[in-house]
């Protein structure tokens, strides 16, 4: 179990017991959610949707949704009449996306690939990488590879929406997080626990988490996850974009469109491919 970074003893007693039980579905690497529970936990998040749809209407398609998951953004974008490429490395996410979009008559092309290596059948006018997906790449090197590949797959003058949190000192960041959610329609109960270890020298967060689901199958479902965030500060993000052939159009601090400042907890970079 050395691949799981160490953290708070009490939390990780639970974490290691689950991981070593032989009854848990263990996931490592990219992404903090598993397809089986993504829609229960995150599927109704829409704070970023109005601004993304407005940008897509302005610049047009095709649009590539990077880290498309189960279709939280892909389906609304395609519902605007846009051709959408859904890029995700997890085949189970694509399966859930197909179920979620079945019968809607939308133009969605699923591409099972990493952000660093995907190839589109035609150049996109807009790439969307929202809600911290870019940080899941885990290192500056992989983020640079990803941006270079995004640029290769965008048309001249194509745009990029990149949305990440602002890293700030947070004494409570390493405290265990525990939440539960009961779906009122199905009665499914979900318990989610996570704890992170902040590495301020490397600029990373190492996260371990577990998800328990009751009521969907005869036996409780147990998922164990581990991943790394690679932080980006505002100046780093700007330099990274410029180094990989983008020009920053605007840097926003929230989903209402306010400019980023020292009070912002989110950075929304809208960038354009340089000629």
Cβ 143 vs Cβ 230: under 8 Å: yes
The confidence band for 7, taking pLDDT boundaries of 50, 70 and 90, is very low
Determine contact, residues 83/62, Cβ cutoff 8 Å: yes
| Rounded CA separation 158/125 (Å) | 5
- The pTM (predicted TM-score) of the whole model is 0.86
Residue 259 DSSP symbol? B
pLDDT of residue 1: 30
Predicted confidence (pLDDT) per residue in 234-259, tens digit:
999 999 999 999 999 999 999 999 99
What is the C-alpha separation between 77 and 73, in angstroms, rounded? 6
What's the confidence (pLDDT) of residue 6?
40
Cis peptide before 238 (omega within 30 of 0): no
**CB-based contacts of 132, cutoff 8 Å, min separation 6:** 163, 164, 165, 229
Token output for 170: 């947070």
Helices marked H in 69-168 — which ranges? 74-79, 91-101, 140-152
The string of pLDDT tens digits covering residues 170-193 is 655 567 778 888 888 888 888 888
**Domain positions in the chain:** 9-42+174-230, 49-167+232-273
- Environment class of 21 (CB within 10 Å of its CB; exposed 0-12, middle 13-18, buried 19+): exposed
Q: What is the pLDDT confidence band of residue 16, given thresholds at 50, 70 and 90?
A: low
- What is residue 72's predicted lDDT score, i.e. its pLDDT? 93
Which residues are CB-neighbours of 110 under 8 A, at least 6 positions away? 68, 86, 88, 94, 97, 98
**Three-state secondary structure string covering 45-57:** CCCCHHHHHHHHH
Range from 77-81, 166-170, 195-199, 260-264 that averages highest in pLDDT: 77-81
CB 265 within 8 A of CB 255: no
- Confidence at 130, pLDDT banded by 50, 70, 90: very high
Q: What angle do CA 239, 117, 49 make, to 5 degrees?
A: 65
Instruction: Look up the CATH superfamily of 49-167+232-273.
Output: Vaccinia Virus protein VP39 (3.40.50.150)
Tens of pLDDT along 82-94? Answer: 999 999 998 888 9
**Is pLDDT of 154 > 60?**
yes
Confidence of residue 220 (pLDDT cuts 50, 70, 90): confident
| Least reliable range by pLDDT among 23-37, 47-61, 232-246 | 23-37
How many C-alpha atoms does 133 have within 13 Å on its Cβ side? 22
- Rounded-to-integer distance, Cα 269 and Cα 271, Å: 6
Most confident of 14-23, 28-37, 93-102, 146-155: 146-155
Give pLDDT, residue 82.
Answer: 96
For residue 135, the number of C-alpha atoms closer than 13 Å in the C-beta half-sphere is 26
Structure tokens, 191: 């318990």
The better pLDDT of the pair 233, 179 is held by 233
Is pLDDT larger for residue 39 or for residue 98?
98
- Name the band, by pLDDT with cuts 50, 70 and 90, for residue 65: very high
């Amino acid at each position: 179990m050395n691949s799981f970074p160490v953290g708070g003893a009490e939390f990780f007693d639970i974490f290691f017991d689950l991981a070593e039980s032989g009854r848990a579905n263990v996931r490592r690497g990219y992404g903090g959610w598993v397809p089986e529970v993504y829609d229960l936990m995150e599927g109704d998040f829409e704070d970023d949707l109005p601004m993304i749809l407005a940008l897509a209407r302005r610049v047009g398609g095709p649009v590539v949704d990077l880290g498309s998951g189960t279709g939280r953004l892909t389906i609304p974008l395609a519902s605007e009449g846009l051709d959408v490429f859904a890029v995700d490395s997890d085949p189970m996410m694509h399966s859930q996306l197909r179920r979620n979009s079945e019968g809607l008559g939308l133009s969605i092309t699923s591409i099972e690939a990493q952000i660093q290596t995907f190839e589109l059948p035609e150049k996109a006018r807009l790439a969307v990488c929202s809600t911290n997906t870019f940080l899941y790449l885990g290192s500056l090197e992989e983020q640079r590879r990803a941006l270079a590949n995004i640029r290769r797959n965008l048309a001249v003058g194509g745009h990029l929406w990149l949305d990440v949190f602002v890293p700030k000192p947070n004494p409570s960041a390493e405290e265990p997080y525990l939440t539960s959610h009961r779906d009122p329609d199905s009665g499914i109960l979900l318990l989610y626990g996570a704890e992170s270890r902040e590495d301020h020298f490397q600029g990373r967060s190492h996260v371990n988490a577990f998800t328990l689901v009751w009521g969907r199958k005869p036996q409780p479902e147990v998922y164990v996850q581990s991943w790394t965030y690679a932080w980006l500060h505002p100046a780093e993000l700007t330099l990274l974009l410029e180094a990989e052939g983008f020009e920053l159009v605007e840097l926003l601090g929230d989903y209402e469109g306010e400019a980023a400042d020292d009070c912002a907890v989110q950075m929304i970079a809208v960038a354009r491919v340089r000629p």
